[in-house]
Copies of this chain bind each other. A is one copy, B any other.
Amino acid sequence: MENQKAQSFGLKSLTALYTLILTIVAFIIEISPTWQSDAMHIEYTIFCVLMYSIAIIYFIYLYTVILYPIVINTILLYLERMHILSVHSIKRWVRPEPVFTGEGAGTLYLRLGTLLFGTLGSVLWGSEIFLCFFTNVRHNIYVVKYILAFVFTYLQMHFLCCNSKIDLPKNSFIASFGMMHCIAVNLWVWFSLCLAKAVYKSDKKTLKLQKNEEKWKKKNMTLTDAVTEAVTTTVAYIASSDGEMVSNFSASEKQLRSLYRLGSAANFLLTTLVEFSLIAAAVYFIIWKHEGEENPQEARKKHVRFDCKSTSVGIFAALVLLVGSFVSISMHYIYNNSDKPRAADEVIGIAETVLFCVTLLAVFAAFSRMRKLQYRLHAHGQVVDEILLIVGLAGEIVYCSTGLDLYLNERLGNVPGTTCLIVVAFVFRIIQVVVQSVFILVSSRLRSLSASNVANQPGKQIITFLVVCNINLFIYHTFETIESNFGFPHKMSSIYSALLNISSPLVVFYRFHSSACLAEIWKHAYSTKHNHSHVHNKPLEDHHIA
């Protein structure tokens, strides 16, 4: 027994080390100017293909051998009946049925999120495959790379949705190793997408500044200057063969073509892909960590049940805020189109501050209402939720401190047009985020056990309100990542923009995930079933997804 434990520990350390090395190497390849140079683009793409294909081969192994061994077992039994294999060898090869007792992506909301994010993310890969054949045809290796990326995303989506509760067999080298490889791939995808976005954003900013400068120049020009300018541009326009304005791609470039062709839509798809990788990495980590632990077999739940009592006030109060925030987005858009960028930014700032204040008050109200509920032990399947919540919280803290830092910087530099609103917004935001995280951690352990609580459901309306508000903020922050982040000036040093590019998908993720956690609280805190810990007494059932 001691020996086996040591073996298990050794295996875990080894795979962890592998992931660490692979992740660091991948990160360095992503930022190294040598690997990113045009001369190395084939080698770099081969590296990408290798990363994806190992992960896909692992998934094929996982599905055929561990998750659906029935196919192999049927073949083996057939071979035995045909007297090609002996009974003895069959016994060695027949695989056991899969056991679904792990932690995994347990909550329904998280699984719906992976479906949503994964589907939208796949669209990005799909467009990329199409764009490989557009204007300058790319090297075939690119096609292979993006097809593999698509297949990988799709397989992950299926695994996370349907099979993430799998309990990996103990001391299986391939299972452990593959899981850790997938973590590395997801982290690498996350990092490379953040970098791609940063490059695209700086390109876009340069273009915008150029345009603004031109406009400004035009305004202040004398008539003769303007006429000369106009004549030269027109001549140049006619001289160019067909006046195509869109820059063509070179065959060797490595950046995502869709970012340049689809603009903000691709930016949105990219954000969803980042969220997806993050969730996937966290879930794999949990599966790897709990691998081989023998948990009591629970019946796989197939029925989803919602108790919609006392929710309508919460929903309809939050819908007013939702409409308000959508209107503010449209106001931002209108002001931006009328060349009033300052007013446009202020609208966003005011709307955010209002949202944060209201949500903060709601969290306090929920605290005071939910004191009546009973404290219970840690429930099953919450570890992954808490890890993801903390990751999101870290992102929010980085985001807010960067914002406040930039404000200080502007104040010191006496940049005109710095409003106090930025400080107010960020301070409320950070307070709201911290208080809400504490609230989620505490109240996910609360249950209504007394009869009066079951009847009254204290705080359920406020929880409903908070769920919708967090979804609202999720949409709002998604919009911010696409359009412009409030409180961040258009020109900033590269270190700030790196921090922004890394933290802004996490901010979006924090809102998504806290609405997921609040929905879980909404579902479970008032549930009349409290036998989570007494599940051992239940009859053992095991349904398969057919």
Q: Enumerate chain A interface residues (CB-CB to B < 8 A).
A: 115, 119-120, 122-123, 126-127, 129-131, 134-135, 154, 157-158, 161-162, 218-219, 221, 223, 226-227, 229-231, 233-235, 237-238, 242-244, 246, 258, 261-262, 265-266, 302-310, 312-313, 315-316, 319-320, 322-324, 326-327, 330-331, 333-334, 337-339, 543, 545-546
Contacts and interface: CB of A to CB of B under 8 A. Distances in A.
A304 B185 CA distance: 39
B235 A330 contact: no
Contacts of A337: 246, 261
A312 B545 contact: yes
Given A303-B307, A324-B126, A238 B262 contact: no
Contacts of A320: 154
A330 B127 contact: yes
Nearest to A158: B316
A373 to B, nearest CB: 18
A223 B238 contact: yes
A261 B334 contact: yes
DSSP majority for the A interface? helix
Given A123-B323, A123-B327, 7 more contacts: A158-B312, A219-B242, A223-B235, A246-B337, A302-B309, A304-B305, A309-B543
Nearest to A121: B323
Nearest to A303: B307
Contacts of A313: 546
> How often does this chain occur in the complex, in copies?
2
Contacts of A115: 315, 319
A157 B319 CA distance: 10
Contacts of A230: 230-231, 233-234
Q: Which 6 A-B pairs have the closest CB atoms?
A: A126-B327, A123-B326, A230-B234, A230-B230, A302-B309, A127-B330
A306 B303 contact: yes
A351 to B, nearest CB: 12
Nearest to A330: B127
A498 to B, nearest CB: 28
19 contacts: A123-B323, A123-B327, A127-B327, A127-B334, A130-B327, A130-B330, A157-B319, A218-B243, A223-B235, A261-B333, A261-B334, A262-B330, A262-B334, A302-B307, A303-B305, A303-B306, A304-B308, A305-B306, A313-B546
Contacts of A235: 223, 226-227
A466 to B, nearest CB: 17
A327 B545 CA distance: 29
Given A119-B319, A233-B230, A238-B226, A127 B305 contact: no
Contacts of A304: 305-306, 308
